[in-house]
Chain A
Amino acid sequence: MSGPDLLFYFFATLSLGGGLLMVFSRHPVSAALFMIVSLVGVASLFVLLDAFFLAILQVLVYAGAVMVLFLFIIMLLDVGPSGAKASKVKLLSGVAGLISVGLLVVLLLDLGLGSMDCSECSAENCDACGESAAFAWPEIRDETAANGNSLIFSPSVKAFGFGLLAKYMLPLQVAGFLLLAAMVGVIILSKKSTAEGEG
């Protein structure tokens, strides 16, 4: 087995094992830590794919910020193993499990069917592949983006920029709007509680 393969199996085990242990560990803090392990493992897999930017964002946003917040809240509320058990709602967890299994199946099916046709796909022969024609990148006309075509399939940061602000402009805006709404909601909620606290 060659080196990179070995690395792949190592990190794959790391992320999968971390995920499993996260689900099965008793204590919320352990679960959160295993989740970090799993996230870092996934980031390492991204690195093996030469997608450094993605890997770093994964660590920065999820492992670095979101999980810190998680841990912060777990610690602040001091949820122990018993607390986690008590808060378990059987029906809800059942439904959640079903949904995740369904998602997994859909993902696997999509992967199994989709990747076969388009394995030859690259920037040059994109039109050759019939199925992905609908997903073809828009042509970039701007003078500053003269070399944009070579960027589209590169792992460089600019490719992400082009992707986000050209093809996925609408989803980006919607996601931004959603976040804004959530933020306004949080502000309103916290305002109310301080007013009550003082009054």
Chain B
Amino acid sequence: MEFDSEMLQQLGLKALFALLMVSAVMTMAGYSVLAERKVSAWMQGRVGPNRTVLPFVEHIPFIGPFLKGLGIFQPLADGLKFLFKEEIVPGHVNKVYYYMAPLVALVPALTTMTVLPFGEYFDEAGNSSPLILANLEVGILFIFAVSSLGVYGIVLAGWSSNSKYPFLGGIRSSAQMISYELAMGLSLLPIFLWVSVPGSEDSALSLVGIVNSQNDGAWLLIVQPVSALIFLVALFAETNRLPFDMPESETDLVGGFHTEYGSFKFGIFFVAEYAHIVVGSAIFTTIFLGGWHFLPWIADPWPATWIGTLLGIGWFLAKTVCLIFFFIWIRWTIPRFRYDQVMNLGWTKLLPLALVNLIVYVLLVTWLDQPPSVTP
């Protein structure tokens, strides 16, 4: 196989799409930071960031002050701040790993979205094909595999910092990761059972298949509420969000794994954390909330043209944003669990629950899928 012009064209197109998606996710990550600050402020009776503004926008009547009040330009200022702060590298760190850790944290968070379908595209004949960078047959497993690599960033940061608090954060993070990944995987098995059609060649591990199975029918959230719950809890744990933010719990570990990090390197950790949340919300939307399809039991109201494509993507984004809001909402409602409580919840509550859930659905699916000759 040679690199011919067509292949290069394909590659270029994919690279362009990848760039677009990365910038979209990064923007969303930046703005979820803003959303976090704003929502937390509102929940606590404050107003949140409302000062930053670009000089020329300020003078637009109505819109200018409105945008300023919403703090729309705050992420810009934050980013610049991270860029121009003084780089401080403590003397006692292991330099190579210290510099590597933020990248290792960010890359998996951005890689997972390559297999994430976010809309569908209609050709002239009205056939739909999903909008996705790489339509892997085993997309969901790919996401698991790559996101499980994300923990190395935290572990490395904790270890290379060579000081106590980051180290504890790193250790906790790895333990938490191991505990919750299991429940997360188990919670998805019933989904595969439910979605896969007996005898068909394509497996239900493809995210596109999962989304399309929810078109015009019930969302999987309604069919499998227990799975959804377990998956959501595990997602909180995997993204290190409160109530599971063991690795960085400020109150007992100063800053956890990023205690020794400053300026841009800390910024990368920060963005990686929020990119994780954005991608995690998108995954939950894809699997349990019907992806880009309209409400359950209602067929997509938009036409099968490019308008439909855009509306579908918009709808998908809207669901994702709602979920991001939910993440933030939970964070400012529930206090942090203790480390032993986290472990306890993971191993003695979620895991058995996921197993029972799996068995129930195995029985149910077997009963439902009996060949028609047995149950006429």
Binding site for B on A (CB under 8 A): 2-4, 29, 33, 36, 40, 52-53, 56-57, 59-60, 63-65, 68-69, 71-72, 75-76, 143-147, 150-151, 156-158
Scan B145-178; emit 1 where CB is below 8 A from any A CB, else 0. Answer: 1101101100110110000000100110011011
Scan B174-194; emit 1 where CB is below 8 A from any A CB, else 0. Answer: 110110010000000000000
Residue B141, interface by CB 8 Å:
yes
Per the bound structure, the CA–CA distance linking A29 and B151 in Å amounts to: 15
Task: Choose one: B136, B142, B178, B202; the contact of A65 (CB below 8 Å).
Answer: B178
Q: Tell me whether A56 and B137 are in contact (CB under 8 A).
A: no
Q: Tell me whether B2 and A2 are in contact (CB under 8 A).
A: yes
Per the bound structure, the CA–CA distance linking A65 and B175 in Å amounts to: 10
Per the bound structure, the CA–CA distance linking A59 and B147 in Å amounts to: 10
Task: Choose one: B138, B201, B202; the contact of A53 (CB below 8 Å).
Answer: B138
A59 surroundings in chain B (CB, below 8 A): 145-146, 148-149
Q: Tell me whether A68 and B177 are in contact (CB under 8 A).
A: yes
A69 surroundings in chain B (CB, below 8 A): 174, 178
Residue B50, interface by CB 8 Å:
no
Distance to closest chain B CB from A140 (angstroms)? 12
A/B pair count, beta carbons within 8 Å: 96
A145 surroundings in chain B (CB, below 8 A): 199
B142 surroundings in chain A (CB, below 8 A): 52, 56
Distance to closest chain B CB from A41 (angstroms)? 13
Per the bound structure, the CA–CA distance linking A2 and B201 in Å amounts to: 32
B146 surroundings in chain A (CB, below 8 A): 59
A156 surroundings in chain B (CB, below 8 A): 137, 201-203
Q: Tell me whether A157 and B205 are in contact (CB under 8 A).
A: yes
Nearest residue, chain B, Cβ from A72:
B174
Residue B301, interface by CB 8 Å:
no
Per the bound structure, the CA–CA distance linking A70 and B202 in Å amounts to: 35
Q: Tell me whether A3 and B144 are in contact (CB under 8 A).
A: no
Q: Which 5 A-B pairs have the closest CB atoms?
A: A64-B148, A60-B145, A59-B145, A157-B203, A72-B174
Per the bound structure, the CA–CA distance linking A100 and B23 in Å amounts to: 47
Nearest residue, chain A, Cβ from B373:
A143
Per the bound structure, the CA–CA distance linking A75 and B142 in Å amounts to: 27
- Given A53-B138, A72-B178, A143-B371; 10 other pairs, CB 8 A cutoff: A33-B152, A52-B138, A56-B145, A63-B145, A64-B148, A68-B178, A151-B201, A157-B203, A157-B205, A158-B201
A150 surroundings in chain B (CB, below 8 A): 201
What is the interface of chain A mostly: helix, strand, loop, or mixed? helix
Decide yes or no: A65 and B2 within 8 Å by CB, A56-B141, A76-B171 being known contacts: no
Distance to closest chain B CB from A46 (angstroms)? 12
Nearest residue, chain B, Cβ from A78:
B167
Q: Can you name 23 A-B pairs with beta carbons within 8 Å?
A: A4-B1, A33-B97, A40-B149, A52-B138, A53-B137, A56-B142, A57-B145, A60-B145, A63-B145, A64-B144, A64-B181, A68-B152, A71-B155, A71-B159, A72-B178, A75-B158, A76-B171, A143-B371, A144-B198, A147-B201, A156-B203, A158-B201, A158-B203
Nearest residue, chain A, Cβ from B141:
A56
Distance to closest chain B CB from A141 (angstroms)? 14
Q: Tell me whether A64 and B3 are in contact (CB under 8 A).
A: no
Q: Tell me whether A75 and B148 are in contact (CB under 8 A).
A: no
Q: Tell me whether A157 and B138 are in contact (CB under 8 A).
A: yes
Nearest residue, chain B, Cβ from A30:
B97
Q: Tell me whether B2 and A3 are in contact (CB under 8 A).
A: yes
B151 surroundings in chain A (CB, below 8 A): 68
Per the bound structure, the CA–CA distance linking A2 and B4 in Å amounts to: 10
Distance to closest chain A CB from B277 (angstroms)? 20
Per the bound structure, the CA–CA distance linking A33 and B170 in Å amounts to: 15
Distance to closest chain B CB from A15 (angstroms)? 16
Per the bound structure, the CA–CA distance linking A156 and B203 in Å amounts to: 8
Distance to closest chain A CB from B225 (angstroms)? 26
Decide yes or no: A2 and B137 within 8 Å by CB, A60-B145, A143-B371 being known contacts: no
Distance to closest chain A CB from B123 (angstroms)? 25
Candidate in A29, A40, A150 with the most chain B CB atoms within 10 angstroms: A29
Q: Tell me whether A2 and B1 are in contact (CB under 8 A).
A: yes
